[in-house]
Amino acid sequence: MSDSPALTEIEQYGVERIPDADRTASPADLFRVAFGGANTFATCVLGAFPILFGLSFLQGLAATVCGLVAGALILAPLAVFGPLNGTNNAVSSSAHLGVHGRVVGSFLSLLTAVAFFSISVWSSGDALVGGAHRLAGLPQNDGVYAAAYGVFALLVLTVCVYGFRFMLFVNRIAVVAASLLFVLGAVAFAGDFDPGYQGSFPSASAAGFWPAFVGSALIVLSNPVSFGAFLGDWSRYIPAATPRRRVVAAAFLSQVATLLPFLFGLATASVIAAKASSHMDPAAPDYVGGLLAVAPSWYFLPLCLLALIGGMSTGTTSLYGTGLDFSSVFPRFSRVQATLLVGVLSTGFIFAGRFAANLSQSISTFATLIITCTAPWMVIMMIGYVTRRGWYDPDSLQVFNRRQRGGRYWFHHGWNWRGMGAWLAAALLALQFVNLPGQFVGPLGGLAGGVDVSLPVGLAVAAVLHLALLRLFPEPRGAYGPDGPRLVPVADTPVPAITPAAGEPADATAGV
């Protein structure tokens, strides 16, 4: 990046549109941040689930590839909103959910970030303490674990306060360092790894195979989908003139590249299971402990470094987006103030969840349920982009942040019930089909023979219902650009002028 402020200069921009002159990032930068945020130890834990579910290594590999490619294809289009509108995806969703309805995206990203931040800190902290115990005899007690979590939280919060460019610098290092440590891990476990490892299912016709296969693929798919609400946080610094196919390709390839940590988790989990002569319990997996038990002693130090680097990378990408979205929901908070507040609250949740409520196991279930609700929101955004021909009014997108009323995306008192209705119906129905044995099973979770079809149901219902509502109840012509809509009709409903909200100064008003 050229002509950029110093790394130690605190980023001042929040969710307001980034001026063109300050957009100096590139699709390669987006790749580094998105890949770095997932090229971590937390992703390895997700990669172990096919083995936890009883699949063989090759069956698990097939499930991983299917889930990863499908998730990357769902995620990639969400990268275009940042360069296009110069703001994050939650703000861009105003065009489809309404000026007030955009808070749905903010709260979904807030919950997702806290969940994945917690998974990252817990898994990386446990690996760091466990590796240090095996390497140097460091005690394993609550005080030591608390210190490890605290160090992670403080380092992550420091990076996030400085902002995007500091985060990008950290991820540039993390991408290379973590990748090298994973490759080193392949050497460490090469002698014990058997690609012919057999799970519980000798063939695809075996009872229980398909629920395990689909469940594994959906867990892998949830990782790229979890970035959907955050892509705009990072891509908003890319110039608007950048070809959209390059931005989409960067987002897609960043997730395909995470096959590296997924494979590490899959392969090492098969080694752990083979040495244990039995499969780990998916309801309470101890992947970290198992990994430390089978790792050669010389790999303990690299494993500690991997935990430290991975915790920093995932934590910064999660918490940065959290602070940014919080500041967009409560505009009186600056990005720095919101980041500090959410960082302190998230750290408190991590400590309470780990030591008081023992939530470290159930947080993965919570993350899965949040992703089930996020995927339909992503579909609403993509369909809206297509019907709008990729045209948006950046000024009207900022109405909520400026505490104004009216504009192209005001719809019905600030809510677009077409997009809101499609998202709510799809999310609620998808939750009924969730089937996570031993964790959470929805009322309709058994209708597909034990296969978790929640995400496919949510995606399909959101797509069909949103298009149907747009055709049956056309949006105002003013919500579309000069070329008009694609695939849907419009209504000749007047667009209300942008005016200050009650109690706000008149000079905050902007025209449509």
478-503 pLDDT, tens digit per residue, is 999 999 999 999 999 998 988 886 55
Kindly state the tokens that stand for 505: 């100064």
The pLDDT score that the predictor gives to residue 278 is 46
Query: Which pLDDT band, with edges at 50, 70 and 90, does 422 fall under?
Result: very high
Least confident of 14-28, 45-59, 466-480, 493-507: 493-507
Question: What secondary structure letter does DSSP report for 3?
Answer: S
The pLDDT score that the predictor gives to residue 227 is 85
**Mean pLDDT on 446-467:** 90
Rounded to whole angstroms, the Cα distance separating 89 from 220 reads 23
**Mean pLDDT on 70-79:** 94
CB 105 within 8 A of CB 374: no
Alpha helices in 76-138 (DSSP H): 81-85, 89-92, 94-97, 103-136
Is 70 exceeded by the pLDDT of residue 20?
A: yes
**Mean pLDDT on 124-134:** 82
List 404's β-bridge partners, or say none.
500
- Domains of the chain by range and CATH? 21-364 (1.10.4160.10)
Least confident of 60-64, 280-284, 291-295: 280-284
Average pLDDT over the chain reads 84
368-389 pLDDT, tens digit per residue, is 788 899 999 999 999 999 999 9
Kindly state the tokens that stand for 212: 């395990």
Of 156-160, 228-232, 321-325, which has the strongest mean pLDDT?
228-232
Amino acid at 240: A
Q: Which helix (H) or strand (E) holds 492?
A: none
Query: Which pLDDT band, with edges at 50, 70 and 90, does 509 fall under?
Result: very low
DSSP for 214-228? Answer: HHHHHHHHHHHHTTT
Residue 499 phi/psi, 5-degree rounding, is -130, 160
The pLDDT score that the predictor gives to residue 262 is 96
Alpha helices in 257-334 (DSSP H): 259-276, 287-294, 300-329
Least confident of 129-143, 307-321, 469-483: 307-321
Query: How far from 473 is each of 10, 341, 467, 493, 494, CA to CA, in Å?
Result: 46, 41, 10, 12, 15
Residue 400 phi/psi, 5-degree rounding, is -60, -45
The pLDDT score that the predictor gives to residue 242 is 94
Handedness of CA 258, 259, 261, 265 (dihedral sign): positive
Query: Which pLDDT band, with edges at 50, 70 and 90, does 51 fall under?
Result: very high
Amino acid at 91: V
CA-nearest of 198, 152, 150, 151 to 42 is: 152
Termini Cα distance of the chain? 34
- Give the Cβ contact number of residue 154 at 10 Å: 12
Rounded to whole angstroms, the Cα distance separating 287 from 51 reads 11
The pLDDT score that the predictor gives to residue 433 is 92
Q: How many Å separate Cα 27 from the centre of its chain?
A: 18
CB 463 within 8 A of CB 474: no
Is 70 exceeded by the pLDDT of residue 321?
A: no
